[in-house]
Amino acid sequence: MRFIILAAAFILSFSNISAQTTESKLQINHLTGNFYIYITYSLYNGYKVPANGMYLVTPKGVVLFDTPWDSTQFQPLLDSIQLRHNKKVVMCIATHFHDDRTAGLAYYKQQGIKTYTTKLTDELSKKNNKKRAEFLLAKDTLFSIGGYTFETYYPGQGHAPDNIIIWFKKERILYGACLIKSVEDDDLGYLGDANKTAYAATVKKVQAKCKQPNFVITGHGDYLHVQALQHTLMMAEELRKKNMK
Ligand SMILES: [Zn+2]
C-alpha cells in the first residue's frame, strides 16, 4: 500500500514537472484586440533563444504569422489556440526561409491549414532544404479575412534576401519579424544570409511604408518598443559603413 501511494506521488510530481516544461516551451501573450504573440525556443550556439510569432483571431478562423521554431510545439500551439479561443488556425504565412519562420509549414499543411510564402522564399527554402508552403505569392498581396485586412510587403534584402513584413494599416501593427531587431539587441544578429550594404535602405523602405506604427513586432526578444525600427536602422547604417570601407 505504501509503495502504491509513493508511486502515485511520484507520478503526480512527474506529471507536474512535464506540465511545467511544456508551458515554458510555449508562451502566448496578448498584444492588442485580437492579436497575440507566441514565443517558442530553440538552441542556437548553445543558448536557448526565443523566437516571436503572431496570430490573429478572426470570426473566420485564426491566421498564424510564422510557425514555431521548436518542432515539438507545432501541435501544442494549435491546441492552445483551440482551447483559448475555440477556433481553428486556417492560414499561415511565413516571412522568410529560416527555420524560426518556416519549420512548421509542412506540418500545418498536413493539418489542412493554408500555408503561404513568397515565391522567392520558396526558391530559397527549396535550395536550403527548409519546409515549404503550399501557396506562393508572386508579389505583395492584400489579404482580407473576417473583417481584418493586412498586406505582405517585400522591402528588399536585409536580414535575408527574401524577408517580408506584414502591415496592418488600420491597426497600425507592423509585423517585422527577423528584419527588425529588438531595442535590447546590440547587433543585427545572424548575418549569414544578410545583405550588409542594402539592409539600411530596406529598413528605410519599411519606415516609409508603415507610418507611425502602434506596434513593431520583432523576430526575437522585446517586441513592445516601437523604437525597434529606428534602433535597427541605426545598426544597419553602421553595418553599411563598415562594409563600404
Ligand atoms: Zn529569426
Task: Please check whether residue 115 is in contact with residue 135, taking contact to mean a CB–CB distance below 8 angstroms.
Answer: yes
Looking at residue 7, its pLDDT comes to: 52
What is the architecture of the domain spanning 26-244? Answer: 4-Layer Sandwich (3.60)
Looking at residue 17, its pLDDT comes to: 44
Looking at residue 2, its pLDDT comes to: 52
Within 8 A by CB and 6+ apart from 114, the residues are: 90, 91, 92, 134, 135
Task: Please check whether residue 179 is in contact with residue 217, taking contact to mean a CB–CB distance below 8 angstroms.
Answer: no
What is the number of other CB atoms lying within 10 angstroms of the CB of residue 128? 12
**Sheet bearing 148-153, strands edge to edge:** 142-145, 148-153, 165-168, 173-177, 215-218
Report CA(178)–ligand 1 centroid distance (Å). Answer: 4
Report CA(60)–ligand 1 centroid distance (Å). Answer: 29
Which residue ranges make up each domain of the chain? 26-244
Report CA(165)–ligand 1 centroid distance (Å). Answer: 13
Report CA(234)–ligand 1 centroid distance (Å). Answer: 19
Q: pLDDT digit of tens for each residue in the chain (245 aa)?
A: 455 555 554 444 444 444 444 448 999 999 999 999 999 999 988 899 999 999 999 999 999 999 999 999 999 999 999 999 999 999 999 999 999 999 999 999 999 999 999 999 999 999 999 999 999 999 999 999 999 999 999 999 999 999 999 999 999 999 999 999 999 999 999 999 999 999 999 999 999 999 999 999 999 999 999 999 999 999 999 999 999 86
Spatial CA neighbour of 183 closest among 114, 115, 234, 111: 234
